[in-house]
Structure 1
Amino acid sequence: MILNHRIARITVGILLLVLAALVLLPGLTGFTSLDGTVNARLAVINAPIDGEIAGPPARIGTPVKGGEPIAAIRNARVSRSVLASLRAEHGTALRRISALERERAALVRLRNQLGERLEVFKSATIASLERELEILRKRVEVAEAQDTVAQVELDRRQQLESRGIFTRKMVEAAQAAGAAAGGEVEINNLTAELLEQRLDAVRQGIFVLGDGQNDVPYSRQRQDEVIVRINDLTTRIAENRTRASQIEVQIGEEDRRVRSLEAATVTSPFDGVVWSRNIVSGSNVVLNNEMMRILDCRDLFVDILVPEVDYDEIYPGRQAEVRLFGRSEVFKGQVQSVKGSSAVVEMDLVAANIPETDERNARIRILLAQTALNVDFGNFCQVGRTAQVRVSKRTVRFSQWVESLWFSLF
């Protein structure tokens, strides 16, 4: 037989050695995983308001751009009672301001009229007092002349008395007449001083009233009351204007709030593709309920499992090669994270299932470099496809393999 020949046996042996080398070489030169899965994160889009979906939302598999509308919500049941109340209160404040301003204007006119009346009366009083003062000054002159005549008559009688012509009684009568004339002069002088004081007071706006003169105190009192009322109205007008301004600000805020609850346009937060949706045109939504999910293709990654004995050889930052089953193209990647077998699996919202294992396998996440996969929205960026990942070893450490074997045996 042909296998009995020495050359044939040698050839078969060489082929077996080559086959064994081919089988062992990938494990010696690197780490290979055949159960990788292309994965990406999902963004959950929740309803911003209560309402009804207006128009057809974006379909599953539709590529969307960042900021592009993907759904519209209309809410016809928004309560406007607070807005209506604020507007009514604002209108009331404005009408109150107008009424108070009209009342203040009328009081200002009344104050001016009272002021004019007071000025007229003041002028008339000054003129009257000046005329009385002139009359008194004339009376003072007359009284002084009469006092002079009385003194002359007294002197004459005293002289005649000394000669025995006039009696003592006639001299005393002349003395009494002189005293009366002097008193009249003094009274007139005092009255003139009093009138001068009143005249000075009136010129300064202070009226020293006599009997029956009640017009000036009434006008002045009435004018003071009007001024107090005007000041009170000015304060109330300022308060109402401040209140109207505050209500106007509240109306603006409430109007913006109502408009935000009446309608809302939901936009995509980034470039991606609609992965799933829970709404259709006309369906009702509730605030913060999930509407749809958007696939984030910006950062694609592959999760793989490798024996935990190689944990120290695979660390973040190491380069990796990824090939999708069914495609010959090789994509570059980089180790993003490494977790032990007992580590809790992260609860990220991802599109594909994370590999599960009951063995002692480390969980490796490979971040793919930016390629055409990141914009392949029509195929959901190839998310969910099985991928083969290889991380090359820098050196083949036989000594480490022998030490591991020795540790296992002994």
Structure 2
Amino acid sequence: MIWNHRITRIAVGLLLLTIAIIVSLPAITGFTSRDGTVNARFAIVNAPIDGMISGEPAKVGTPVNEGQTLAEINNPRVNRAILASLEADRNTARDRVVALKAERDALTALREQLSKRLDIFREATISNLEREVEILRKKVQVSQAQDLAAQVDLSRRMDLESKGILTQRMVDAARAAGAATGGEVEISNLTVDQLEQRLTALRQGIFAFGDGQNDVPYSRQRQDEVIVRIGDLNSRIAENETRAAEVDKQLIEERNRVGSLESATAIAPFDGVVWSRSIVNGSNVVLNSELMRLLDCREMFVDILVPEVDYDEIYPGLAAQVRLFGRSDVFNGTVVSVKGSSAAVDSDSFAASLPVSSQRNARIRVHLDPSFMNDDFANFCQVGRTVQVRFPKHGIGLTNWVKNLWFSIF
């Protein structure tokens, strides 16, 4: 029979050897993992305020753009007590300013009236003093004439007394009369000087008071009191205006705060797709409670397991080839991390589950180069899909195999 021929047996053996070589070739030339899963991180969108969801939030699977509205929150129960108190303080300060200005205007009018009265009285007093000065000057002239007549009479009597015609007594009487008229002239001159000094002081606005002129100091004192009061009112007006301005600034800040607590909008921090949500229209939320999760498709990666004996053969920066099950397309990737089998794994921020290892397997993470998956929001960027990952191997590694075998035996 044909199966008993030597050539047939040789051909079958060569065929089996070729099949064995072909089957073993992938393991010889590289590392291949079939338990990989396309994975990505998601971002948790929290509530910025307390309140209630208004309108329909973005649904699961909805592609969103950066800055797009995800949900609107309204809170009609915001505490407005501080805002009302600040508004009352501002209105009170403004009302005080109006009242103080009205009082200042009234006192300003009173000060003008007192000033006019003082000017009128001063002009009248100046006019009276000028008349008195003129009268006294006339009296001085009369007194000087009388003094001259007395001196002439005294001289004549002294001549007659020397001749024995008049007695000494008559000469003394003439001398006394001359001294009296000279005193009157001196008194009149002093009085004129005194009135001129008062007149000069009045013209400079300084009153030299006399009997029966108490109206002048009262008007001046009243006017000074009004000026002091106006100065105090100006200070209080400035103080209340400053207070009102400062309260206005506080009101702006408080209105902004109340406005930010009355309503808020949760927006998308990046382009992605809604992975899950925990709210509906009308849901009550509290500050920092979770609203929804956004899938971040900007950085895609694959987590795989390989035997830990090959740990040193796979290192960060090593190129990898990734193929989705069911597709013939091959995507490029790069190893970003290599962890041992006992390394702790945190999977809270990953969209897909990490592979579970029950043996001594190293955990390899491969970053995927940009591809159509990064924008495939309709299919959640292919997250969770199984992939096959292959790494190239440099050399057969027969020496390491022999060393490992020798270490196991001995």
Query: What's the CA shift for 1:336?
Result: 1.7
Could you list the per-position Cα deviations for residues 312-370 of structure 1 after superposition, in whole angstroms to 9, with x for gaps in the alignment? 33222222111111221111111122223333224551101122324333222111111
Question: 1:26 is matched with which residue?
Answer: 26
Question: 2:286 is matched with which residue?
Answer: 286
Task: Indicate the SS of the match to 1:293.
Answer: strand
Amino acid at match of 2:225: E
Query: What's the CA shift for 1:394?
Result: 4.1
**How far, CA to CA, are the matches of 1:100 and 1:371 in structure 2?**
75
Q: Is 1:130–2:120 an aligned residue pair?
A: no
Amino acid at match of 1:266: A
Greater Cα offset, 154-163 or 254-263: 254-263
Question: 1:168 is matched with which residue?
Answer: 168
**How far, CA to CA, are the matches of 2:353 and 2:180 in structure 1?**
135
Greater Cα offset, 357-366 or 248-257: 357-366
TM score, norm. by length of structure 2: 0.95
Amino acid at match of 2:354: I
**How far, CA to CA, are the matches of 1:371 and 1:273 in structure 2?**
17
Task: Show structure 1 runs of 4+ deviating over 3 A.
Answer: 1-5, 394-410
Question: 2:101 is matched with which residue?
Answer: 101
Amino acid at match of 1:75: N
1:299–1:374: 8 Å Cα contact kept in structure 2? Answer: yes
Question: 1:35 is matched with which residue?
Answer: 35
Greater Cα offset, 38-47 or 87-96: 87-96
Amino acid at match of 1:48: P
**How far, CA to CA, are the matches of 1:152 and 1:396 in structure 2?**
163
Question: 2:195 is matched with which residue?
Answer: 195
Note the 1:246-285 alignment, pairs <5 A.
Answer: 246-285=246-285
Note the 1:145-224 alignment, pairs <5 A.
Answer: 145-224=145-224
**How far, CA to CA, are the matches of 2:133 and 2:21 in structure 1?**
144
Question: 2:300 is matched with which residue?
Answer: 300
**How far, CA to CA, are the matches of 1:335 and 1:361 in structure 2?**
16
Q: Structure 1: which 5+ residue stretches go unaligned?
A: none
- The count of residues paired between Structure 1 and Structure 2 equals 410
1:97–1:240: 8 Å Cα contact kept in structure 2? Answer: yes
Task: Indicate the SS of the match to 1:302.
Answer: strand
Q: Is 1:56–2:56 an aligned residue pair?
A: yes
Q: Structure 2: which 5+ residue stretches go unaligned?
A: none
Question: 1:310 is matched with which residue?
Answer: 310
Query: What's the CA shift for 1:103?
Result: 0.9
Question: 1:327 is matched with which residue?
Answer: 327
Question: 1:85 is matched with which residue?
Answer: 85
Question: 2:66 is matched with which residue?
Answer: 66
Amino acid at match of 2:344: V
Task: Indicate the SS of the match to 2:95.
Answer: helix
Task: Indicate the SS of the match to 1:297.
Answer: coil
**How far, CA to CA, are the matches of 1:398 and 1:154 in structure 2?**
166
**How far, CA to CA, are the matches of 1:363 and 1:95 in structure 2?**
74
2:347–2:353: 8 Å Cα contact kept in structure 1? Answer: no
Task: Indicate the SS of the match to 1:341.
Answer: coil
**How far, CA to CA, are the matches of 2:395 and 2:140 in structure 1?**
140
**How far, CA to CA, are the matches of 1:160 and 1:11 in structure 2?**
197
Query: What's the CA shift for 1:88?
Result: 2.2
Could you list the per-position Cα deviations for residues 353-390 of structure 1 after superposition, in whole angstroms to 9, with x for gaps in the alignment? 12232433322211111111111111111111111111
1:335–1:366: 8 Å Cα contact kept in structure 2? Answer: yes
Query: What's the CA shift for 1:407?
Result: 4.4
Task: Indicate the SS of the match to 2:66.
Answer: coil
Identity of aligned residues (%): 65
Greater Cα offset, 14-23 or 135-144: 14-23
Could you list the per-position Cα deviations for residues 155-204 of structure 1 after superposition, in whole angstroms to 9, with x for gaps in the alignment? 11111111111111111111111111111111111111111111111111
**How far, CA to CA, are the matches of 2:209 and 2:275 in structure 1?**
99
Query: What's the CA shift for 1:224?
Result: 0.7
**How far, CA to CA, are the matches of 2:210 and 2:142 in structure 1?**
26
Could you list the per-position Cα deviations for residues 221-251 of structure 1 after superposition, in whole angstroms to 9, with x for gaps in the alignment? 1111111111111111111111111111222
Amino acid at match of 2:334: Q
**How far, CA to CA, are the matches of 1:101 and 1:351 in structure 2?**
69
**How far, CA to CA, are the matches of 2:6 and 2:348 in structure 1?**
62
Distance 1:179 1:347, change over 3 A: farther
TM score, norm. by length of structure 1: 0.95
Could you list the per-position Cα deviations for residues 55-91 of structure 1 after superposition, in whole angstroms to 9, with x for gaps in the alignment? 2211111111221212121222222222222222222
**How far, CA to CA, are the matches of 2:345 and 2:128 in structure 1?**
110
1:41–1:348: 8 Å Cα contact kept in structure 2? Answer: no
Amino acid at match of 1:296: D
Question: 1:374 is matched with which residue?
Answer: 374
**How far, CA to CA, are the matches of 2:335 and 2:381 in structure 1?**
20
Could you say what the CA RMSD is over the residues aligned between the two structures, in angstroms? 1.8
Task: Indicate the SS of the match to 1:70.
Answer: strand
Query: What's the CA shift for 1:141?
Result: 1.6
Task: Indicate the SS of the match to 2:79.
Answer: coil
Task: Indicate the SS of the match to 2:296.
Answer: strand
Amino acid at match of 1:243: R
**How far, CA to CA, are the matches of 1:280 and 1:324 in structure 2?**
35
Query: What's the CA shift for 1:215?
Result: 0.9
**How far, CA to CA, are the matches of 2:158 and 2:394 in structure 1?**
159
1:272–1:296: 8 Å Cα contact kept in structure 2? Answer: yes
